[in-house]
Chains A and B, each alone.
Chain A
């Protein structure tokens, strides 16, 4: 009730607050931020640079509130981001989370994610692109627009490509309606670099360039365990050792895609486990149904000399 009759904080009004000083720590613990950072720490394995950047953004929010209280100017920061990194390093997963994060931190109003690629933005004939792009932008208002493999928007080899038109509309909205939506561009590092070289306007309008590092072996094992847990499976102790072995071997083989490779491997392990149980027959109990054994892991082609080698039986 008291807040309703208090005037909005202005330069003149909160002089008392300014003199008394603010307890940033208290402000921090009062907000949702700490519990939310703990959640993030729990849900995302590895990805230190990403977490650091999110902590920065969260801290900025708290400081921004404090600044507002003492009457300093507090403009919303530009939050457009690029996510670069190798396949399977969690760019899309983090983008999904980012929408929720920014919503809970109060930077976007709705917190939904609109995930698009070139096809959703660029039209097929003259005059088709602008309405299409604007349509998507309208849908993303109040949330996060995630453009996967953004470099496909720009096709230098075809000068009449409509991608340029989409880029111009995007840039305009990113500049003028910063309060209304956050744009995240994602893609592989080298191609994003080339994309930015040919579109300097993009680079300067994006404040946060976040690089997703490859996962370490132990992180991949933890990811596999988390996946298993999420699907109500568990690895037998010897299967865990096999899993570590698997990750180490898989990395050196072609088409390694970090967590995505692990997810695919896990799906195949489940299939093998099902077949093994089916062929053994007999009674099954809860523990047997939930356990992935070492033999399910070791049957992978990765152990038989790589994914190019002929498939192992079973």
Chain B
């Protein structure tokens, strides 16, 4: 109980939920079928009332959202890569001498991947949150509570994926809630419901892991050797992700850390932080919250 690293069979029990808590829910994002439509980004914003994030043409392929942040809880990455012989008959045209002579390129692969908060088994953001704003839900997901968050920002640096962030004009921290409100009502999160090609799959984490294993085997069988799972392994540096991925290249290519580690793995005790938080609450907590409500 109260583990900070390593595999964990029942993350909810570890967070104090009774044995009859619901199963751990998560996302399996299969990027091999992503068409980069960004429905997930919009559906998320519509549901969660997340404000727009500015109008900037970045020139980074079709990615004008750039990264996950306080006002971007789903982010579709676009990676344009020259096609090299990866033994991948299903992606992109084959290398063709004449084509390459024609345009100085040898064909292209265009990878797309919808990124999201990983809802880690060992969540750095949650572990360092001094106010109790971040908490583990009964579904095993990690959620910031806007009525509690005071914008201290500890969580921001504690996230090994760079997911959570403070919203500038608001001050508080925001990120994907895995549509906690919808889950409570037995609904599918907005992004997964919208996803046209089932690239984003929502369900019980155990079941998703099995599904992902099957999909990986199927792709390998078809010769797509580059396919690999990311965040699937319960023994990795964050104890496995609640939201994990099937990728068609190295994680770095998609802007994902190759070997994320929860910072609290090296932390002596979180009780120190709790102490800070208690002091903060007693001293200035109430003042910090007033005037931050919309």
Is chain B found bound to chain A in the same assembly?
no
Q: Using a CB–CB distance below 8 Å, which chain A residues touch chain B?
A: none
Q: Using a CB–CB distance below 8 Å, which chain B residues touch chain A?
A: none
